[in-house]
Amino acid sequence: MRIYRRVGVVAGFAWLLLLLVPIGVAQVAPAAAGPAPVNPHASPEARALLEYLDSISGRYTITGQHNFPNESSRWTDRTYDVTGKYPGLFGADFGFSAGDDKDSIEGRPAMIAEVERQYRNGAVIALTWHAVRPTDDEPVGFRDSVQGHLTDFEWKELLTPGTDLYRRWCAQVDVIAGYLAQLRDAHVAVLFRPYHEMNGNWFWWGGRPGKNGSAALYRQLYDRFVNYHKLDNLVWVWNVNSPSGNAGTFADYFPGAEYVDLPSVDNYGEFKQNYYNDVLALAGEKPIALAEVGGVPSLDVLKAQPKWTYFMIWAGLAEILNPTEKLREVFDSPDMLNRGDPRLGEAMDAMRKGSGGGDCGTGDCFCVDRGKGAAGEALQRFEAERAQRAGKWRAGDCGIERARDAGDGEISGDLWGGIRDHERRWDRGWHGARSDYRRGETAI
């Protein structure tokens, strides 16, 4: 059943790509499926996402925005406020710190819930992790741990199965695997970018070229997540920083084509043509991306470097490093794909339908998490019964209740009024009309 399902999804998706290509533009036959995922057991949605990225390479670029794990969709929403369009890619991080800090690990459950909501509303999902140094315990400080250092002896221990440090590393990455497994079970495809900027010397995992260096740790994580945890929903994004005195040559950190679905570059400076050429040389036929930027590439840059399939602006930098006019010009370009654009939305809808992830379309439905505990479950049942009688709600197929946009706000009080000390978001669709509700100590 699994094999037949995959074949049907990929074949159906290929025909959708033909429909999305305007008349007069060269079309690719469905048989030309593009590069196969490096994970031979990749899920239907992961395969479809990689195939879609390959299909737009050289023609379109997806806009993207990063968000800190403890700030929900703050920066995606702000980019919408500035440009009038939601970025097509929603990026987030698993964090490392404590308390109310923007990078707090306490924000992980809410971040995963937000990722699922963004995916249902038509966004591509990209996740990374500023990983804790394996000699430390979470939560940690950024400079002390994430930007810490391992000795050569510790590095060798880390890469040697059975050692104490290897076992500590397993325990730490297994925590992240648990969250990614939630997304796997929800049929959410993820562009996963581990040990990013590995050619730089500013993170504990980076700056070690060669076979047994940073690339070896990437391969070790791939093995743990793919072969042990069976995280088949991941598209594997390898990442380096634009070269500098503190960042080495791309090729010295490449783990091998059999471990990389999509090579990517972080660039907070000039978009030099040789950076583009160098990553293309490693990519071969694979799609490429600008995984992090501060200033967005201009339309002239993207015309000269058309194979960047997406870019992602780092949280808080969209307005600091970009004139408003430039942001709007880029996001308004017909060569960019934003959330809500049918060229992206219809493809994402096909991925969700084909993998059992539901049929929310391009973001025109509400999604409500089931309440926790007996009170929450009772409230959810009441809401579902009341809403179905009203003819506005229907049950979804991915473990939540869904409804099409009813066009009014009166239902909001009924939706959230009985949740104790919990925040929920009511999203009225990709067009951005949104209301947030917090009910502190209200009980049913």
Residue 59 clears pLDDT 60, i.e. is over it: yes
CB distance 442 to 418 below 8 Å: yes
| Same domain? 13 vs 137 | yes
The C-alpha atoms of residue 171 and residue 80 are separated, in whole angstroms, by: 38
Residues 207 and 336 in one domain: yes
What radius of gyration do the chain's Cα atoms show? 22
With bands split at pLDDT 50, 70 and 90, how would you rate the model's confidence at 9? very low
Give, in order, the Cα–Cα distances in Å from 13 to each of 100, 159, 183, 230, 356: 42, 39, 21, 24, 14
Over pLDDT 90: what percentage of the chain? 71
Q: Is residue 360 part of a domain?
A: no
User: Same domain for 387 and 241?
Assistant: no
Determine the pLDDT at residue 360.
43
Residues 405, 257 share a domain? no
Position 157 in a domain: yes
177-232 confidence digits (pLDDT tens): 999 999 999 999 999 999 999 999 999 999 999 999 999 999 999 999 999 999 99
Domain boundary among 355, 384, 419: 355
Give the whole-angstrom CA distance, residue 293 versus residue 266.
6
Q: Tell me, yes or no, whether 371 and 338 share the same domain.
A: no
Q: Give the residue-averaged pLDDT of 148-177.
A: 98
**CA angle, 307 then 311 then 122, to 5°:** 105
- Residue 258, token pair as written in the block: 């059999």
Domain identity same for 332 and 194: yes
Q: Is 199 helix (H, G, I), strand (E, B) or coil?
A: coil
Mean pLDDT of the chain, nearest integer: 81
Query: What average pLDDT does range 31-48 have in this prediction?
Result: 88
Q: Are strands 86-87 and 336-339 parallel, antiparallel or unpaired?
A: antiparallel
Phi, psi (5° rounding) for residue 208? Answer: -115, 95
Residue 39 CB neighbours (<10 A): 22
Distance between CA atoms of residues 120 and 364, nearest Å = 9
**Per-residue model confidence as pLDDT tens digits over 72-120:** 999 999 999 999 999 999 999 999 999 999 999 999 999 999 999 999 9
CB 92 within 8 A of CB 315: no
pLDDT of residue 354: 81
Residues 6+ apart with CB under 8 A from 99: 106, 139
> Do 213 and 112 fall within a single domain?
yes
pLDDT band at 359 (very low <50, low <70, confident <90, very high): very low
Across 13-27, 31-45, 330-344, least confident range: 13-27
Shared domain for 338 and 377, answered yes or no, is no
Q: Which domain holds residue 401?
A: 365-439
The pTM of this model reads 0.78
Mean pLDDT check: name the lowest of 22-31, 141-150, 305-314: 22-31
- Do 404 and 329 lie in a common domain? no
pLDDT (mean) for 279-292: 98
The answer to whether position 216 is within a domain reads: yes
Same domain, residue pair 341 and 375: no
Output the pLDDT for position 357.
59
Q: Is the pLDDT of residue 376 over 60?
A: no
Residue 429 contacts residue 340 (beta carbons within 8 Å): no
- 324 lies in a domain? yes
Q: Going by DSSP bridges, is the β-strand pair 190-193/61-62 parallel, antiparallel, or unpaired?
A: unpaired
The confidence score (pLDDT) of residue 379 equals 39
| Full 3-state SS string of 19-48 | HHCCCCCCCCCCCCCCCCCCCCCCCHHHHH
Amino acid making up residue 94: F
Q: How many domains does the chain have?
A: 2
Look at residues 246, 307, 297 and name the one whose alpha carbon lies nearest to residue 269.
Answer: 297
Name the H helices within 239-321: 273-283, 299-304
Are residues 256 and 374 both part of a single domain? no
Q: Which residues contact 48 (CB under 8 A, 6 or more apart)?
A: 9, 10, 13, 189, 347, 350, 351, 354, 355
Q: Which residue has the tokens 């919990």?
A: 422
End-of-domain residue from the set 294, 328, 355? 355
- Residue percentage of the chain with pLDDT more than 70: 73
User: Which element (helix H / strand E) includes 15?
Assistant: helix 2-20
The predicted structure's pLDDT at residue 13 = 52
* CATH number, domain containing residue 35: 3.20.20.80
**pLDDT tens digit string along 378-420?**
334 334 333 333 333 333 333 333 333 333 333 333 333 332 2
Listed range (19-28, 91-100, 177-186, 303-312) with the worst mean pLDDT = 19-28
